[in-house]
């Protein structure tokens, strides 16, 4: 049975090819068969994890909590790129600040759990919560932007990176209201119990990837410059932080 590698479904539309190439790199480095599987939704991926069908995962910080604490995964490395959230409105919306938003607001968002969580936290100063707003779920950040432009939603939650990558035509119709600046929460490459004894080897190979020009350009196609090591302690404190923020 080959090992199973998967990526949190929040990756950008241009990154799929890069993750395929990364999987090839992984197989070569670990000298073993690894199958790359993508999931359409966070729920489908959660189920695969539950059924122990995932051995290596590029996980978002919210899922990392469950993977590490419930499933015995450990971090092999983290990209040096924090996950931040942007809340945007239409460019000509009268709303100039979060506090001007009112109950009944319709929020376009993906099912990305950490972005939804951070987005809701940033609405608290306006006394908004899940009970007095309506979530409108979209399959991608481009669809979130479209829902705003088509007037189906009042505000949209974006992974800041995905907002920045919207086409200039789309972006010119939107205005960021607030962006988070948390710095310390990021995705991580996690490995499951079956590969635990190869963690150190994999961490060493990942963190020296940026020294090779071809591997470095692969990382850039995935949206970051280099992998940094992430020890157990750092991961545990990041999880504590997320659990503190989760309702």
Partner 1 sequence: MHDMSPSDIQGDYQETTLKYFDGNQRKVLVTDIETPYPEGKLIVSRTDTKGNITHCNRSFIDMSGYEESEIIGQPHALLRHPDMPAAAFEDLWKTVQAGDKWHGYVKNLRKDGGYYWVYATVIPNIRKGQVIGYTSVRRKPSRQKVEEAITTYANMN
- The CA–CA distances, whole Å, from 47 to 1, 68, 149, 212 equal 19, 16, 33, 36
Quick check: 54 binds partner 1 (CB under 8 A)?
Answer: no
Quick check: 231 binds partner 1 (CB under 8 A)?
Answer: no
Comparing CB distances to partner 1, the nearer of 88 and 209 is: 88
Query: Which one of residues 124, 164, 201, 231 is an interface residue with partner 1 (CB under 8 A)?
Result: 124
Comparing CB distances to partner 1, the nearer of 201 and 231 is: 231
Closest of 153, 9, 169 to residue 88, by C-alpha: 153
Quick check: 99 binds partner 1 (CB under 8 A)?
Answer: yes
Query: Which one of residues 183, 197, 211, 214 is an interface residue with partner 1 (CB under 8 A)?
Result: 183
Give the binding range for partner 1 (CB under 8 A) out of 40-48, 117-125, 187-195, 219-227.
117-125
Q: Helix 232-245 vs helix 61-71: angle between axes, to the nearest 10 degrees?
A: 110
* Contact (Cβ atoms closer than 8 angstroms) between residue 157 and residue 148: no
Q: Whole-angstrom Cα distance, residue 39 to residue 34?
A: 16
Quick check: 240 binds partner 1 (CB under 8 A)?
Answer: yes
Q: Whole-angstrom Cα distance, residue 247 to residue 61?
A: 15
Quick check: 121 binds partner 1 (CB under 8 A)?
Answer: yes
Residue 76: helix, strand or coil by DSSP?
A: strand
Contacts of 97 (CB under 8 A, 6+ apart): 177, 178
Quick check: 95 binds partner 1 (CB under 8 A)?
Answer: no
Comparing CB distances to partner 1, the nearer of 70 and 99 is: 99
Quick check: 17 binds partner 1 (CB under 8 A)?
Answer: no
Query: Which one of residues 122, 166, 218, 222 is an interface residue with partner 1 (CB under 8 A)?
Result: 122
Q: Whole-angstrom Cα distance, residue 244 to residue 247?
A: 8
Quick check: 134 binds partner 1 (CB under 8 A)?
Answer: no
The token duo for 135 is 């979530």
Give the binding range for partner 1 (CB under 8 A) out of 71-79, 179-187, 194-202, 214-222.
179-187
Comparing CB distances to partner 1, the nearer of 37 and 234 is: 234
The token duo for 12 is 């950008």
* Residues in touch with partner 1 (CB under 8 A): 98-99, 121-122, 124-127, 178-184, 236-237, 240-241, 243-245
């Amino acid at each position: 049975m080959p090992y199973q590698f998967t990526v949190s479904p929040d990756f950008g539309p241009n990154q799929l090819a890069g993750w395929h190439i990364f999987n090839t790199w992984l197989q070569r480095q670990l000298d073993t068969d690894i199958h790359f599987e993508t999931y359409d939704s966070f729920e489908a991926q959660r189920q695969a994890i539950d059924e122990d069908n995932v051995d290596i995962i590029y996980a978002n910080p919210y899922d990392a909590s469950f993977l590490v604490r419930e499933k015995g995964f450990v971090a092999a490395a983290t990209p040096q790129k924090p996950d931040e959230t942007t809340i945007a409105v239409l460019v000509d919306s009268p709303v100039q600040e979060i506090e001007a938003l009112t109950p009944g607001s319709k929020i376009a968002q993906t099912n990305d759990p950490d972005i939804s969580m951070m987005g809701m936290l940033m609405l608290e100063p306006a006394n908004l919560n899940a009970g007095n707003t309506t979530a409108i779920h979209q399959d991608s950040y481009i669809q979130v932007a479209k829902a705003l432009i088509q007037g189906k939603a009042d505000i949209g939650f974006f992974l800041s990176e995905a907002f920045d990558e919207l086409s200039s035509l789309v972006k010119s119709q939107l205005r960021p209201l607030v962006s988070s600046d948390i710095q310390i929460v990021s995705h991580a490459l996690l490995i499951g119990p079956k590969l635990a004894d190869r963690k150190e080897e994999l961490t060493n190979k990942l963190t020296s990837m940026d020294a090779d020009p071809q591997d470095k350009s692969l990382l850039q196609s995935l949206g970051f410059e280099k992998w940094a090591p992430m020890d157990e302690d750092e991961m545990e404190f990041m999880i504590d932080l997320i659990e503190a923020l989760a309702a």
